Copies of this chain bind each other. A is one copy, B any other.
């Protein structure tokens, strides 16, 4: 019988498609194997197990998100960069409701690609702050504020936590607008 021709990339990407369709908590080796047309234990030739697959999926999704954030940030600064990165962030989460929560998993320190992807995503945030002239210790606080707002809104939206999805675009715009004001005032108000 012919071989399926799998490798880790194919398995992880199929897992990514699966979680976007059925939700992250429904990620199961059995479902991935079924979609790939192989028996469940065959996957062990490519991933160590269910936990390892979830971690690899996190690395993959984080790299995807970091790429899109970087692409959005390049060539922009200030409010322009903020709006572009914020839009890219939310867009990724809406297009990939299963992958997005996976990006919030803490990177496996033993996986250099995963760690690098996480750092790249954070760097996109710092790039936005740089456009506001925020650096050093103040940037740590501002980055956490920005990440919190983006992640909070997007995770609540994807999880359905906002009730009826009425006017979510406007609410997001308002939040980003207030973040813009906060970042513009950041250097003057809260740092020496």
Contact = CB atoms under 8 A, between A and B. Distances in A.
Interface string A158-181: 011110000110110011011101
Majority-rule SS of A interface residues: helix
Interface of A: 104-106, 140-142, 144-145, 147-153, 155-156, 159-162, 167-168, 170-171, 174-175, 177-179, 181-182, 185-186, 189-190
Shortest 10 CB-CB distances between A and B: which pairs?
A152-B152, A148-B152, A148-B153, A178-B182, A141-B174, A145-B175, A151-B152, A144-B171, A141-B171, A106-B160
Given A145-B153, A147-B156, 18 more contacts: A104-B159, A104-B161, A106-B160, A140-B167, A140-B171, A141-B167, A141-B175, A144-B153, A145-B178, A148-B148, A148-B152, A148-B153, A149-B149, A151-B152, A155-B155, A174-B190, A178-B186, A181-B185
